[in-house]
Amino acid sequence: METAAVKSMLAWYREHQRVLPWRSLPTPYRVLVSEVMLQQTQVTTVIPYFERFVQAFPDFAALAAADIEAVLKLWEGLGYYSRARRLHACAQLVMENGGELSDDPTELARLPGIGPYTAAAIASIAFGRPYPAVDGNVLRVQARLLADDGDVSSQSARRRVYERLLAVIQQTPDPSAFNQAQMDLGAMVCLPRQPLCDECPLRVFCRAFASGEPTVYPRRPERRVTPRMHVAVGLIFYRGRLLILRRSEDQMLGGLWEFPGGKLESGETPSQAVEREVREETGLTVEIGALVGVIQHAYSHFRITMHAYRCRLAEIGEPVVACERLHAWVIAEDLPKYAFPKANHKIFACEGFAEGFQE
Ligand code: SF4
């Protein structure tokens, strides 16, 4: 990037930068929390989560001392829950090592949940160190500036852009503004499908704009078809309490709570799957009752269709749950205290769900 382009971008940033809660007080802790939340999540979604999170856990000490259940509860609905567990582990490690974050991206990248992008973002925004933070937005802006139609999703392309920008940012008096200006430009002006070139401070330097077809750049990898999975779950009530199980830490959505159930096996109906899964997961024998709802939910790499059935315990007497995972029988009022995946919240919203608590 030539010097005049950097100057033009920084002038634009001074005037147009987004007002974001972590920018008003960019301490290492707040920058870390915001950057981890922003991994794969939109800014507008992150803002209320960030505000609640830093209010509950204002610094590394508070987060390190917190119960993981409380951390997951505040993360509920933000998705990619391994980020919350890694952030918690990161805070504990920081506290064990004196309570301060390093300003060196290599050191930072050794901490849980911090990759090269987050490390460079923290080093530059919280400490003013000259390291470029290269994410998808930056790759797009850079590909367009140079009319580079290569595949920007590869590691080598990312490395090339990093090296190029490293030389530029080292000559820049304000590395934090440099990185954040590129982030804002990618998010507000150089949009993936409809770039607002007329408002862009880089227009005169941009080869993609000069070509007349800026959206040709960067080349998009071919889209893969997202697979769909059918799962079935059982809503087992006993004396006004609902049975829930905690997912193990090493699973996707680890540490969150859910209903017993799982994937349909070949040739199985959803109700047969519930009966089998409940027996395998809890040792309980159930009779399948009414279908409470069928919901659809999309994760990053697959979609699910989830069938939820009310279940009656087939055995008489106090149910004994034989389960390796943690389980709980919860009353309706306590349900909000537990963190659940979004798909389960869709089941909560189904008509007839709450009736089971009245039995
Ligand atoms: S001129 Fe258009 S394509 Fe080029 S960087 Fe600006 S917004 Fe992106």
Give 311's strand partners.
Answer: 236, 288
The predicted structure's pLDDT at residue 152: 80
pLDDT at 259 over 90: yes
The predicted structure's pLDDT at residue 42: 92
pLDDT at 9 over 90: yes
Q: What mean pLDDT is predicted for residues 138-145? A: 95
Q: What mean pLDDT is predicted for residues 125-138? A: 95
The predicted structure's pLDDT at residue 153: 79
pLDDT at 221 over 80: no
Ligand 1 neighbourhood includes 186 CB (under 6 angstroms): no
pLDDT at 253 over 90: no
202 CA: nearest ligand 1 atom: 6
Annotated catalytic, 35?
yes
Compute, in angstroms, the gap from residue 214 CA to the centroid of ligand 1: 7
Compute, in angstroms, the gap from residue 116 CA to the centroid of ligand 1: 25
Ligand 1 neighbourhood includes 165 CB (under 6 angstroms): no
Ligand 1 neighbourhood includes 144 CB (under 6 angstroms): yes
Q: What mean pLDDT is predicted for residues 101-110? A: 96
pLDDT at 175 over 80: yes
The predicted structure's pLDDT at residue 249: 84
pTM confidence score: 0.78
Q: What mean pLDDT is predicted for residues 150-177? A: 91
215 CA: nearest ligand 1 atom: 3
Domain architecture of the chain: domains with CATH: 3-216 (1.10.340.30), 228-358 (3.90.79.10)
pLDDT at 224 over 80: no
The predicted structure's pLDDT at residue 201: 97
Ligand 1 neighbourhood includes 189 CB (under 6 angstroms): yes
Q: What mean pLDDT is predicted for residues 322-332? A: 90
Ligand 1 neighbourhood includes 209 CB (under 6 angstroms): yes
The predicted structure's pLDDT at residue 157: 85
Ligand 1 neighbourhood includes 49 CB (under 6 angstroms): no
Catalytic one of 2, 35, 69, 96? 35
The predicted structure's pLDDT at residue 294: 96
Compute, in angstroms, the gap from residue 216 CA to the centroid of ligand 1: 12
